[in-house]
Structure 1
Amino acid sequence: MTTRDEAVARLTAPGAPFEIHTEDVLGEPMEVFAHRHRSLSELLQRSRGFGDAEYLVTTERRLGFTEHLDEVAALAQALRVEHGVGKGDRVAICAANCPEWVVAFWATVSLGAVAVGMNSMWAGPELRHGLDLTEPRVLIADEPRRALAGEQSVPVLSIEADLPAIVARHRGTASDPTAVDEDDPAVVLFTSGTSGRPKGATHSHRNVLCALWYHLLNDAVAAEMGVPQSGRRFLLATPLFHIAALHNLAVIRLAVGDTAVIHLGRFDIDRVLRLVEAERVTNWGAVPTMLGRVVELGDRLGDYDLSSLRTLSVSSAPSSPELKVAVRRSLPQAARSFGTSYGLTEAAMAATVATAAELEADPDTVGRAVPTMQVEVRDDAGHVLPDGVEGEVCLRGPQMMLGYWRNPEATAASTAPHGWYRTGDLGTLRDGRLRISSRRSDLILRGGENVYPAEVEHVIAGHPAVHECAVVGVPDPDLGQAVAALVVLRPDARTEQEELCSHVIAAIARYKVPTRWVLSTEPLPRNATGKVDRSQLVLLADAWIG
């Protein structure tokens, strides 16, 4: 029987459909897929071949490939003639998951413009920062985010109130994609800021298409190993402003003719499993918190018909070996293909992937580097470390972002010579398998969302009663980590936790707002250099909060 490694070697050999060879990428020699697509518009035009097959499905709407392409052409025409959107311009999208989000994305990139996926959980100041940074020609938003944006110089198109009329007005427009270079920017997605402001990771057409070609190769490998690849229906339950939902689901399903079943609204385990049942979902890529809710159902899981589910994966946050074992027990029909991965927004896709077999052998691994990606573990001086020695995980490949939008300082700080990206994560490599020992510096991973302490501290410190503050992550059985704030008040200050919480809620997304607070007049612990000692802070937070 063909092994996975044998299938990959055969399919990527010279002359094979997924041949990998070396080319110049932005001045550096890198391994690339030789027969890749060169633009996202190329995918879009080919999707008409899938006809009336379902592309996007919700409980409220079903959109086939032909209808989707027609709506994309209509919206693109409106953006071009009514708002002057052209190559290199930005179109911001800020909305909860819905089919119109995806239509807006494809309409934007078909014009050679840059789709700016804004975090739909942002507070008003964060949204306005994103708009100021990227200067879009137009903002496409649902009504709640339209209201949040307030008065703007940029035109705002409401998904509910404006888009239906716009599409109707331009329906019948022939698709007319703009020519682009594969290294032109296509998408900006935001990451939490290490220094207090969200940063816009900028992905080129090449970056996004790298994700596609990895998945196409995966499908071809699975087919060689006798795993059926037809009739797939993928659950889309993570936000479209994340690479997991946009690059690695919505884009790829359009390219291969699969269906994306979109969960609307907040994550609710009963509604999600009823959707899986009703739509006969076959594939689900989840964050650990979601799978934790599945496991918690216990015997009640039998109330749902999940027999269609045949592939399960976990990503976006670390998951414990215990959770993986519990998931296999709860969903045995999907356990044969239960995998995990390690990636980050800057990489546009997973950097490493662990198969079910690899997880069985080593539950702590996040797998091996995907084709065309290089992974090294380095010391503080940038030297490559031997197997088993902990250091900083560094990545290199054609899928790595162009940089942070209009932030050359942050881009320079995160890069090393010859196209290497410094993740800030600590890990070890052994026989090509990566283990992550701790995520980026002080990063808090709350339910699959990244929270950088500096961003939250910046807001808390703006309250007049606060002398100094620090934010840390503390263990949480459901979310993985919770956000905790240790606040030193001014000697004459009079304030309560509720007032500080309201102050923070007004400025940043709710998932970043501390749920655990310690108010004190004692100074924060510091090390010999005078910096706040975060390792001591975590211990203090655990002790004080209990």
Structure 2
Amino acid sequence: MTEQPASPLTYEQATAALTAPGGFFELATEDVLGEPMQVFVNRPRSLRDLLAGAVEKGDAEYCVFDDAGERRVLTFADTTEQAAAVAAALAERGIGHGDRVAILAANCPEYIVTFWACAALGAVAVCFNGWWTRNEIEYGLESTRPALLVADRRRLARLEGDDPGVPTIVIEEDFAEMAAAHPGAGLPDTPIAEDDPIVLQFTSGTTGRPKAAILSHRSFISFVLAAFLIGARDSMLSGAAPAAGGARLAVFPLFHLSGMQSSTVTSLLGGVKTVWPMGRFDPTRVLQLTVDEGITAWNGTATHIFRLLAEPGTDDLPPEHLTAVAIGGSASTPELIRATEERFPHLVGTFGSGYGLTETGGLVSHATNAMLREAPDCVGKPLPGIEVRIVDDEGNGIPDGENGEVCVRSALVMLGYWENDEANDAAFLPGRWFRTGDYGNLHEGRLHLASRLRDLILRGGENVYPAEVEQRLEEHPAVAEVAVHGVDHPTLGQEVKAVVVLTPGSVTSVDELVDFCAETLAYYKVPAHVEFRDEPLPRNATGKVVKAVLAGDAEQTFVEE
């Protein structure tokens, strides 16, 4: 493949050119929630505005769902028409601006239509984790009090026949009739403000209870435009024209920000077809879909991409069939990048990296391939319109190069946690600076993370907070002490490990504790490893368990009394 000539522009020059006055990505400072922030001037003011524009793309395919070989298609026009019809049906049920509609389902066309119906109506989509067990579903219903639950049979069955306590639309039984009740309905004209909420996205917390981050129309639209800006800047720097046509693989759950923002909203504005394999991830089937549906971009976690590369059929793909491989939802690794570049040599030099949280609207910084070659441990530079500062324990700014807590301010950052004043007080510094809980430094404009949230386990794209698993194990009568941490896994990134100290005289087994966790925790939170320990857990002078000792990352150097 002929290499593209290097761009004469620097990263800063390309950014300045794209965001200059008069350009599509022009930036201006405006008041956002009482604070001055940079925003894109040429932005839709709500997701409904974005949805209305999709009609212009007509019968082009927007989402293709592969359901065990059955092809279920939403065109761009279909999506707008069905969302308008479902919005009318929701309004008929008394659901209006600001009301919450919970969605508990696998990835399916009905999920996407329900989301867009909420966006059109000014309602709020509450995205329940599709892996939740009964206890977790009940907590979600009690804490968010939705006006309606849209659920598939399989997940509704986890309530074991109990009434969810909220009007319910069963997708397989009720949805088609609801969507057909208002043919030809137009999009609602309810006023929607930019900072009105659009989703409640659950994210685990160190207390062990999931918290619902409130994200706004402004946040979603800012993400989409920032994502387009990254693509435009990369093309400008590489000298290569953006890849035209083709489809994108979509494997992230719709209850994840990656599934909702990148695969659903960004593709609608970009006019890009996304292909959604339904059910369990099957690399053989995905390879077939790559050929049949013209997929030219693989998007997935490191686990997904590893499994695709290991599939024998990958060698049968034409050498330059793929134009991009993107890793999200979990950290990439040098091994994965090397394996991908060996199989697809034309992608050498195309990999970037980034950093973001649900609470920051999914984006904070982005690293080009050139940045990673200069500083492999960096997560890039803050994107235009996103401010990053590093603070000490008192919230004061500290000099470049010194480690402190990473704080973020931008139009993408969440409005706050749903009905959780205590968590909000802890999460924000004055001026709407969000405290990420991650530690790092800024050096020459690049962000380096010294440590992520120390307890967070990243398992195959899912976040597991040890506190939640520890609380469950502590309910077992044989458990006196427990500490949960992550251990490396070749394809999942990390697995969950529990270190357990039993009460004197008690007897239990690994299988018993695993089964005990599985009763109330989603499968990915259940420990894959359990270690029984005869001596007490290592603690520091303040009594906190030192998990780095258990994980083998540090020696116990303090004196025990």
Report the TM-score when normalising by structure 1: 0.94
Alignment match, 1:10: 17
Alignment match, 2:3: none
* CA displacement, residues 486-512 of structure 1 (integer Å, 9 cap, x when unaligned): 122222323222222111111111101
Residue 396 of structure 1, CA deviation: 1.1
- Residues 186 and 33 of structure 1: is their aligned pair in 2 closer, same or farther, counting only changes over 3 Å? same
Are 1:199 and 2:211 matched, yes or no?
yes
Residue 229 of structure 1, CA deviation: 4.7
Alignment match, 1:38: 45
Alignment equivalent of 1:157, drawn from 166, 169, 190: 169
Alignment match, 2:389: 376
SS of match in other structure, 1:418: coil
> 2: distance between equivalents of 1:258 and 1:169?
29
| Worse overlay, 262-271 or 454-463 | 262-271
Retained in 1: the 8 A contact 2:496–2:528? Answer: yes
Alignment match, 2:374: 361
Q: Which amino acid aligns with 2:184?
A: G
Alignment match, 1:230: 244
> 1: distance between equivalents of 2:261 and 2:243?
19
Q: Where does structure 1 lack aligned partners over 5 or more consecutive residues?
A: none
Alignment equivalent of 2:87, drawn from 60, 65, 76: 76
* CA displacement, residues 158-214 of structure 1 (integer Å, 9 cap, x when unaligned): 222211121122222222242111111111111112101111011011111110111
Report the TM-score when normalising by structure 2: 0.92
| Worse overlay, 340-349 or 173-182 | 173-182
| Worse overlay, 192-201 or 283-292 | 283-292
- Residues 540 and 341 of structure 1: is their aligned pair in 2 closer, same or farther, counting only changes over 3 Å? closer
SS of match in other structure, 1:171: coil
Residue 11 of structure 1, CA deviation: 2.5
* CA displacement, residues 89-124 of structure 1 (integer Å, 9 cap, x when unaligned): 000111111121111100112111101111101111
Alignment match, 2:325: 312
* CA displacement, residues 127-175 of structure 1 (integer Å, 9 cap, x when unaligned): 1111111111111111111112442111221222211121122222222
> 1: distance between equivalents of 2:216 and 2:389?
23
| Worse overlay, 302-311 or 60-69 | 302-311
Residue 433 of structure 1, CA deviation: 1.6
Retained in 2: the 8 A contact 1:353–1:367? Answer: yes
Q: Which amino acid aligns with 1:41?
A: R
Alignment match, 1:139: 149
> 1: distance between equivalents of 2:528 and 2:30?
49
1:382-531 alignment, distance < 5 Å: 382-531=395-544
| Worse overlay, 232-241 or 514-523 | 514-523
> 1: distance between equivalents of 2:291 and 2:399?
48
Are 1:267 and 2:281 matched, yes or no?
yes
Residue 2 of structure 1, CA deviation: 5.6
Alignment equivalent of 2:120, drawn from 100, 110, 127: 110
Residue 533 of structure 1, CA deviation: 1.8
Q: Which amino acid aligns with 1:259?
A: K
1:226-265 alignment, distance < 5 Å: 226-265=240-279
Retained in 1: the 8 A contact 2:246–2:294? Answer: no
Retained in 2: the 8 A contact 1:41–1:177? Answer: no
Q: Which amino acid aligns with 2:225?
A: W
Are 1:215 and 2:227 matched, yes or no?
yes
Alignment equivalent of 1:335, drawn from 329, 339, 348: 348
> 1: distance between equivalents of 2:359 and 2:79?
29
**Percent identity between the two aligned chains:** 45
Alignment equivalent of 1:61, drawn from 72, 89, 93: 72
Residue 6 of structure 1, CA deviation: 3.0
- Residues 407 and 139 of structure 1: is their aligned pair in 2 closer, same or farther, counting only changes over 3 Å? same
> 1: distance between equivalents of 2:348 and 2:135?
43
> 1: distance between equivalents of 2:192 and 2:232?
28
> 1: distance between equivalents of 2:407 and 2:134?
34
1:528-543 alignment, distance < 5 Å: 528-539=541-552
Q: Where does structure 2 lack aligned partners over 5 or more consecutive residues?
A: 1-6, 556-561
SS of match in other structure, 1:231: coil
SS of match in other structure, 1:104: helix
Residue 336 of structure 1, CA deviation: 4.3
> 2: distance between equivalents of 1:108 and 1:516?
41
1:179-198 alignment, distance < 5 Å: 179-198=191-210
